[in-house]
Structure 1
Amino acid sequence: MAKVSYYTEEGLNRLKAELNEMKTKGRTHIAHQIAEARDKGDLSENAEYDAAKDAQGLHEMKIAKLEEILSTARILDESSIDTSMVAVLSTVKIKNMKNGAEMSYTLVSEEEADLKTGKISVGSPIGKGLLGKRIGEVAEIKIPAGTVEFEVIDISRG
């Protein structure tokens, strides 16, 4: 059985819009490329035609993956989030125990993760390490650079 993923309403709508774009404009664009390449003559030695057909296959694979993601996607009711511990869609303020630096992240699904906006995946090493922690607890998180300790300072919703 497929794993259920939880999204914000905004994140789920963005995925639906991306799928719609791929099914309409994306497919039309690739069909146009294939038609152009076909018009250039012998298909057995036409590299442009082969490349366009490969692009079509990759595009359809991406559509299938997105449809699979959407089939198991659920909107998480943000009002039901327990702020006594870190969970999906929690915004958590943490302090690096080694250098004292404080950071704030919102834990989201893998597809919604965007470090620039402070959204990290619950599947990332830091996301996994913070899940279930309460204010005042220290999470020892193994990252590629070694082990880091973060103290949970605050937990809030979105």
Structure 2
Amino acid sequence: MARGSLLVRGSRPRRARERRRLRRREGRPARDRHGRDLGRILRRDHAADAALLAVADQRDRPDRRVGRTDRRRRAAARAARLHFGRLTWGGFVYAVIGPLVVTNILWFTAISRVGPSRASLFANLQPFFAVIIALILLSEHLSRLEVAGGLAIAVGIVFERRSRVPALPQPPAD
């Protein structure tokens, strides 16, 4: 930057270098598979959560003055202006119905059909399937540690299946 006839060294170029260095260190912003900035999406979601918590806090504390303007009331007003579209509500229904309802129905049905000991054996496959789904849907990369964990799970299941002693036949009742 020039002041008078002197060139003040390092003001603007240093800032640019620092910005480039910070960008390299922090990396590019995380993006989903459609190229949207996840940081912006997450900030928006956290703002909505904070606003809803502020509304709940106001409702639970009747001793607060009604006319007082503070961050909580402004956040509550912003939350009242939020309009969720069909995609947001669809994602919410999917996130609630899938993990909370369907999985419990399937789990208890499996326990009633195959028994608790055999069902618990397959409960150990959950991390294995989570990694496979992350590979397919989220384009994640597999590390050596995750491969070793998957192999350990598979070896444990095979070991349990082979070490099982068959039950002795019961004599007929007289």
- TM-score in terms of structure 2 length: 0.24
The structure number with the bigger radius of gyration is 2
With CA pairs under 8 Å and 6+ residues apart, which has the higher RCO, 1 or 2? 1
**Structure (1/2) with the larger helix percentage:** 2
**Structure (1/2) with the larger strand percentage:** 1
